[in-house]
Amino acid sequence: MAPYLCIVSFLLFSFSSALASNYDVSAVFVFGDSLVDSGNNNNLQSLAKANFLPYGRDFDTHKPTGRFANGRLVPDFIASRLGLDLAPAYVSANDNVLQGVNFASAGSGLLESTGLVFVRHFSLPAQVDHFQNVLDNNITAKLGSKRARELSSQAIYYITVGSNDLVNNYYLLPASPLAVRYTPERFQSLLLAEYHKQLQRLHGSGGRKFVLASLTALGCSPINLLRYNVAKKGKCVDFLNDAAARFNADLKASVVKWSSSLPGSHIVFANSFDYVLDLVRNPAAHGYKVGDQACCSGIGKNGAIVFCLRNVTTCDDTSSYVYWDEFHPSSRVYGELADRFWEGSVQDSYPINVKQLSTL
């Protein structure tokens, strides 16, 4: 048995190495909010945490990690496609940083004022600070300046941000000071200007390959169906979806402009909005049974609760639900989105897909 296991292990290792060598990607660095957080809020004084069961019940270890999902997230699936390890959370990465680090923080946004309702979190500017700290004090210390720069330039920077700036800032009930101060158009311009600023910082640190994920269909999440009293099947909160769609349209339009202003960069816009919206409207067409309720839930209209609670009763079959909890899709959805981003058409990834980006 032992020789057999050794042979299998060797073949698996060889396959993994060969897979990684097919792509010119050294690491995956992840930034953003709870859609991609892998545990950076675990030890913060924050209301946005997922370091308890039933979160993580379908993860590789079947244990909670801090991911707001039953299993893997989109960047986890992409890292596996590349033959890389899953990026560890920044707060627990230690020296394990050469194949990527996850800096994302639940509740965060582009603006420092976003997500204060959750108490503590790391905003996107703070996450970029953390990346620069890792690059200078860990990666460069291990590899030297030249090789660290090469690693940085060959890495993929996966960013999912903006949802909290809208839902938990500008449109926060009962009223937001920013909604009084800015029109929706001016607020969106403010967000995109900050987005560009943080991309410039990452580019200045050597980043060249960026994947900017769109906002999802914010108005279709169970928590927002509850907040705005939407009970009809397949219906969503239109003004939130409209706000997300406007943000996405401007972000997509900015991809070409930002690519030209950041020499040597390649930026991909990854569209999650359309697929999630279609899943909610037509779950059965995609093999799902429930599109408007949360699996991890048990009270409230549309199956939504304020948070997925510790050891709460969950659905039996997570794969039949579009949403895992009140705001976050199930890992099945994340896997399908990753597939679309990886080798989908320009409707999924623009102007090229992530697989093509990985060969540049």
Sign of CA dihedral 135, 136, 137, 143: positive
Residues 6+ apart with CB under 8 A from 196: 254, 258
Residue indicated by tokens 């960026």: 210
| Residue 24, SS3 per DSSP | coil
Instruction: Note the pLDDT of residue 312.
Output: 81
Instruction: Note the pLDDT of residue 13.
Output: 39
Contact 300, 226 (CB under 8 A): yes
User: What angle (nearest 5°) sits at the alpha carbon of residue 207, between those of residues 211 and 13?
Assistant: 75
- Residue 319 CA to residue 330 CA, distance in Å, equals 7
- The domain segmentation of the chain, as residue ranges, is 26-357
The pTM of the full predicted model, rounded to 2 decimals, is 0.92
Query: Nearest 5°: phi and psi at 110?
Result: -75, -30
Instruction: Note the pLDDT of residue 355.
Output: 98
**Mind listing the pLDDT tens digit of every residue in the chain (360 residues)?**
444 333 333 333 333 443 444 798 999 999 999 999 999 999 999 999 999 999 999 999 999 999 999 999 999 999 999 999 999 999 998 888 999 999 999 999 999 999 988 999 999 999 999 999 999 999 999 999 999 999 999 999 999 999 999 999 999 977 788 999 999 999 999 999 999 999 999 999 999 999 999 999 999 999 999 888 887 787 899 999 999 999 999 999 999 999 999 999 999 999 999 999 999 999 999 999 999 999 997 555 555 455 688 878 899 999 999 999 999 999 999 999 999 999 999 999 999 999 999 999
CA atoms within 13 A on the CB side of 31: 27
- Residue 54 CA to residue 311 CA, distance in Å, equals 6
**Domain range 26-357, its CATH number among 3.40.50.1110, 3.40.50.150, 3.40.1160.10, 3.30.70.1230:** 3.40.50.1110
What tens digit of pLDDT does each residue of 55-81 get? 999 999 999 999 999 999 999 999 999
Sign of CA dihedral 171, 172, 174, 179: negative
Residue positions annotated with a catalytic role: 34, 325, 328
DSSP strands (E only) in the chain: 28-32, 156-160, 209-213, 266-270, 290-294, 321-323, 349-350
- Residue 53 CA to residue 167 CA, distance in Å, equals 26
